[in-house]
Structure 1
Amino acid sequence: MSSSIITAITELDQSKYKTKVYAGGHLIYADEPTELGGTDEGMSPGALLLASLGSCTAITIRMYADRKEIPLEAIKIDLAICKEEEMSKETTITRKIEFLGPITQEQRERLVVIADKCPIHKLLSNPIKILTS
């Protein structure tokens, strides 16, 4: 992650739940599925959270593998978050990482350790304070 402050702007007009999300000159949409009244034209906010963790994990692993010249061909990360009604003081996210390529067991074990060094993983593993104005 960049050392500068990360910002995002979200806008929601009268388009039901389809929300524009702007960050770093990019635009994506967040939405809810049709069964919840949305248009299903974007990922749900929960899926975006998992996408942040998954992409940060993959990028962190790739950076390390490239730097150490580990012959890692691909990374696949499956993520899931517990149901909203199961969330409490301890929300559970499961993350299963698959490494493709001719890498050793020792390299696999090291890459799993590196996965936990991803900045989003660190952020989500600590208490988060949200200040609203």
Structure 2
Amino acid sequence: MSNTQITAVTELDRSHYKTKVYSGGHFIYSDEPEAMGGTDEGMSPAALLLASLGSCTAITIRMYADRKQYNLDTIKIDLAICSEDQMDKSTIITRTIEFTGQLSEEEKARLMQIADKCPIHKILSNPIKIETSAKN
């Protein structure tokens, strides 16, 4: 991540629950499954959170592997988050990383260490304070 502040704007009209998400000139939808009253036309907010962690992890690993000239072909990251009723004082996200390519055991171990250096991992591993205000 750069030192520039990252911003996003979400908009939800009377649609159930398809939400427009804008950031940095890009646009996606977030939604809920039909079983929850949504249209299932986008990822759920929790899936977007996991996608942020997974993509940030993969990008961080790729940057490091390229810089060190590791023979890393692909990175696959499977993520899951505990159910909402299990989110009391802590939330558990599981992350399983798979590498393909000609890598030594030492290189694989180093890439696993680098995975925890991704900015989104750092954000999610520290206390988060959310300041909310209304706009008139």
* TM-score, scaled to structure 2: 0.97
Question: SS of the residue aligned with 2:122?
Answer: helix
Instruction: Give the match for residue 73 of structure 2.
Output: 73
**Which secondary structure state, in structure 2, belongs to the residue aligned with residue 46 of structure 1?**
helix
- For 2:64, what is the secondary structure of its paired residue? helix
Q: Which runs of 4+ in 1 moved over 3 A?
A: none
Which residues in structure 2 correspond to 1:65-104 (within 5 Å)? Answer: 65-104=65-104
Is 1:16 aligned to 2:16, yes or no?
yes
- Number of aligned positions between the proteins: 133
- Which runs of 5 or more residues in structure 1 are unaligned? none
Distance in 1, matches of 2:87 and 2:100, equals 33
Separation in structure 2 between the aligned mates of residue 3 and residue 120 of structure 1, nearest angstrom: 14
| Residue equivalent to 1:130 | 130
Alpha-carbon distance, 1:81 to partner: 0.2
Q: CA RMSD in A?
A: 0.4
Q: For residues 88 and 130 of structure 1, what CA distance do their matches in structure 2 show?
A: 17
Q: Distance in 1 between the 2:131 and 2:74 partners?
A: 38
Query: Partners in 1 of 2:62 and 2:33 — Cα distance?
Result: 32
Provide the TM-score with structure 1 as the length reference: 0.99
Distance 1:90 1:110 in 2: 28
Matched, 1:26 2:26: yes
Q: How many percent of aligned residue pairs carry the same amino acid?
A: 72
